[in-house]
Amino acid sequence: MRTYQQKTEETHHDWYIVDASGQRLGTLAVRIARALSGKHKPTWTPHIDDGDHVIVINAEKIELGGNKWQDKIYRRHSGYPGGLKEKTAQDVHAKHPTRLVEEAVRGMLAGNRMRGERLNRLKVYAGEQHPHDAQKPQPLI
């Protein structure tokens, strides 16, 4: 018996929708990252990008456990001396409600050449409205 190797022409990208209201950020990010990378499919092949499109709605209603709203720090650096910027999860969520989900999923994906393509298939919306009804997304289990 030989190991199955999927070919690029055989890939198919489905559409899934996830309601983030009341869900923990880390658990949700793991489920989304698996769907984006295609690891939930039996035809998964490491070097072929067979992931699906994922729509996340109600990102503003995400939950964090414990004191993470104040303790979790998002850092970025401008590259100049003294250019470190730090914001708490509460500050980031207040200004950009979708950014927490996007950054969590980005951290769950492998840091290789396919990460950019996979992140392009992630659509995150703060409310319930999204413009992807024509794709007929299925709920992600």
Query: In the chain, where are the structural domains located?
Result: 12-139
- The string of pLDDT tens digits covering residues 79-121 is 999 999 999 999 999 999 999 999 999 999 999 999 999 999 9
Question: With b meaning 16 or more CB within 10 Å and e meaning fewer, what string describes 88-112?
Answer: ebeebbeeebbbbbbbbbbebbeee
Strand order in the sheet with 138-139: 122-124, 53-57, 15-19, 138-139
Residue 52: predicted pLDDT: 97
Cα-to-chain-centroid distance, residue 114: 14
Which of 101, 139, 105 lies closest to 33 in space, CA to CA? Answer: 105
Q: Which residues contact 62 (CB under 8 A, 6 or more apart)?
A: 20, 21, 23, 24, 25, 28, 93, 100, 101
* 45 neighbors 5 (Cβ within 8 angstroms): yes
The pLDDT of residue 2 is: 87
Q: Give burial (CB, 10 Å; 0-12/13-18/19+) of 28.
A: buried
Q: What local confidence, expressed as pLDDT, does residue 1 receive?
A: 78
Look up tokens 């950009």; give the residue: 96
Look at residue 31 and tell me whether its pLDDT is greater than 90: yes
**What's the whole-number average pLDDT of the chain?**
95
50-86 pLDDT, tens digit each? 999 999 999 999 999 999 999 999 999 999 999 999 9
Q: Around Cβ 51, how many Cβ atoms within 10 Å?
A: 25
Lowest mean pLDDT among 3-7, 37-41, 52-56, 69-73: 3-7
- 12-139, which class in CATH? alpha beta
